[in-house]
Amino acid sequence: MTRLQPPLRVGLAGVGVVGQGLVKFLAASPDFAPAGRTVVITGVSGRRRDLKRDVDLGPYTWFDDAVALAKSPDIDVLVEVIGGAEGVAREAVEAAIQASKPVVTANKALLAVHGHRLAEMAEAQGVPLLFEAAVMGGTPAVKMLREGLVGDDVTQVAGILNGTCNFILSEMERSGKSFADVLADAQARGFAEADPTTDIGGFDAGHKIALLGAIAFGASPNFAGVEIEGIEKVELIDIRLAHDLGYRIKLIAEARREAGGATVRVSPALVPLDHPLAQAGGALNALFIEGARIGRIFLQGAGAGAGPTAAAVAADLADLLTGARRPVFQQSAARLRPLSAERTANRSTAAFLRMMVKDRPGVIAAVTDALARAEVSIDSFLQRSAQNSGLVPIVLTTHVASENAIAHAVEQIAALDAVAETPRLIRIAKI
């Protein structure tokens, strides 16, 4: 006679977008029982008990204190969907691990900053710490890298990991509106947060690439070492000129193995129009992976939202139920080294350089001379007619050259009397 197993009891810390998504998922999927054992939420924690929500939290025990929820004997697993690298989210996760309870979290900030320490704690307690929902929402990038590609040597992961930025850049191109106008629209329609800094400043994508780089390369995440530039300075003119040259500007988060270390960074970059990353528009997320054996992989899908993110949390719950076990970041915590994000000395790139110059003879010669002296060669060149300001936009792309040399040439060009403002430098993605 088979004995019925008791349901897995979830303590849900955070009942916002993702938390409510999980409540809805479990209500709509009573047969979700990957190993013959169902899942029930027993306790929930939030900040505002009286807030009216889309789901009825009445059936669950309410905890004002998420740490008390984490320690409660009535839960078997903590699902942490509060957010933030510090504070109650971190305390609740640590408390659950110390109490030998598995943790499922969507909190990229927490893991990007404290992932190594938490992996050590989880390993010492022998409990899983799972985070599929933390990167690309419902699109299974974490499992693919941590499990599916563990037999390969991944050399590069590069992607569009922030839907808000992708929406804003796509919308600027579509509507011809400025960054500020599109951001204001996006905020009014709820596509961007009231304080958009984490998204548009590139920090959210930085958290995610710190995690993907860690699992791709078997390292520990090192958010402090991620070089981050957001999309605030992307102008419509750059989007248009890049398009004329056969590129689209995307916020690209990448982790790449290089001789002597790794580069982990987030910045606007030009992507050829026919590359799949260029075609992921709107709020989509997309990821390009290169492995020494498998070659190139491309993954695209929803990066946020209650439904997709809850599905990713459910996928982690399925791993708990089936007993699937993997080290948190691909190898045991004792062997993890921080993903070396030190700038490798001779990093190289091709670049897009846009400048506004005064309409007078000899300017272009002076610009090309500055580039030649820095040993940066020009690949293509475009000049547009003078704008109302009387300034003439010129744009060029370079062949691959040392990043230091390009930066030096930009300094020289900026100092030219005929150049009205510091040239806009955007790298061309190596994908």
Ligand X SMILES: NC(=O)c1ccc[n+]([C@@H]2O[C@H](COP(=O)([O-])OP(=O)(O)OC[C@H]3O[C@@H](n4cnc5c(N)ncnc54)[C@H](OP(=O)(O)O)[C@@H]3O)[C@@H](O)[C@H]2O)c1
Task: Kindly tell me which residue out of 83, 115, 140, 201 binds ligand X, with binding defined by CB under 6 A.
Answer: 83
Catalytic residue among 101, 143, 208, 250: 208
Nearer to ligand X, 3 or 52 (CB): 52
Angle at 254 between CA 250 and CA 257, to 5 degrees: 150
Minimum gap (Å) between residue 116 Cβ and ligand X = 18
- Structural contact between residues 132 and 142, judged by C-beta atoms closer than 8 angstroms: yes
User: Cα dist. 375→60, 270, 357 in Å?
Assistant: 67, 22, 22
Task: Kindly tell me which residue out of 8, 26, 39, 66 binds ligand X, with binding defined by CB under 6 A.
Answer: 66
- Report the C-alpha gap between 110 and 92 in whole angstroms: 11
Nearer to ligand X, 45 or 72 (CB): 45
- Report the C-alpha gap between 41 and 46 in whole angstroms: 14
Residues that bind ligand X (rule: CB under 6 A) add up to a total of 25
Minimum gap (Å) between residue 395 Cβ and ligand X = 36
The site string for ligand X over 115-154 (x = CB under 6 A, - otherwise) reads ------------------xx--x-----------------
Minimum gap (Å) between residue 340 Cβ and ligand X = 26
- Structural contact between residues 162 and 303, judged by C-beta atoms closer than 8 angstroms: yes
**Binding segment (CB under 6 A) for ligand X, from list 78-86, 176-184, 328-336, 340-348:** 78-86
Q: What is the DSSP letter of 119?
A: H
- Structural contact between residues 142 and 213, judged by C-beta atoms closer than 8 angstroms: no
Nearer to ligand X, 309 or 397 (CB): 309
Q: What is the DSSP letter of 56?
A: -
The answer to whether 305 contacts ligand X (rule: CB under 6 A) is yes
The number of beta carbons lying within 10 Å of the beta carbon of residue 226 is 25
**Binding segment (CB under 6 A) for ligand X, from list 30-38, 106-114, 239-247, 361-369:** 106-114
Residue 19 buriedness (CB in 10 A; 0-12 / 13-18 / 19+): buried
**Binding segment (CB under 6 A) for ligand X, from list 77-85, 324-332, 366-374, 382-390:** 77-85
Please report, in angstroms and rounded to a whole number, the separation of the first and last CA atoms in the chain. Answer: 57
Q: Which residue sits closest to ligand X, CB atoms considered?
A: 16
Task: Kindly tell me which residue out of 8, 23, 81, 280 binds ligand X, with binding defined by CB under 6 A.
Answer: 81
Phi first, then psi: give them for residue 157, nearest 5 degrees: -125, 130
The answer to whether 164 contacts ligand X (rule: CB under 6 A) is no
The site string for ligand X over 7-46 (x = CB under 6 A, - otherwise) reads -------xxxxxx-------------------------xx
The answer to whether 95 contacts ligand X (rule: CB under 6 A) is no
Residue 167 buriedness (CB in 10 A; 0-12 / 13-18 / 19+): buried
Amino acid at 304: A
Q: What is the DSSP letter of 14?
A: -
Q: Which two tokens stand for residue 312?
A: 């990713």
Q: Is 208 a catalytic residue?
A: yes
Nearer to ligand X, 106 or 336 (CB): 106
The answer to whether 373 contacts ligand X (rule: CB under 6 A) is no
Residue ranges that bind ligand X, judged by CB under 6 A: 14-19, 45-48, 51, 66, 81-83, 88, 106-108, 133-134, 137, 304-305, 309
- Give the catalytic positions in this structure: 208
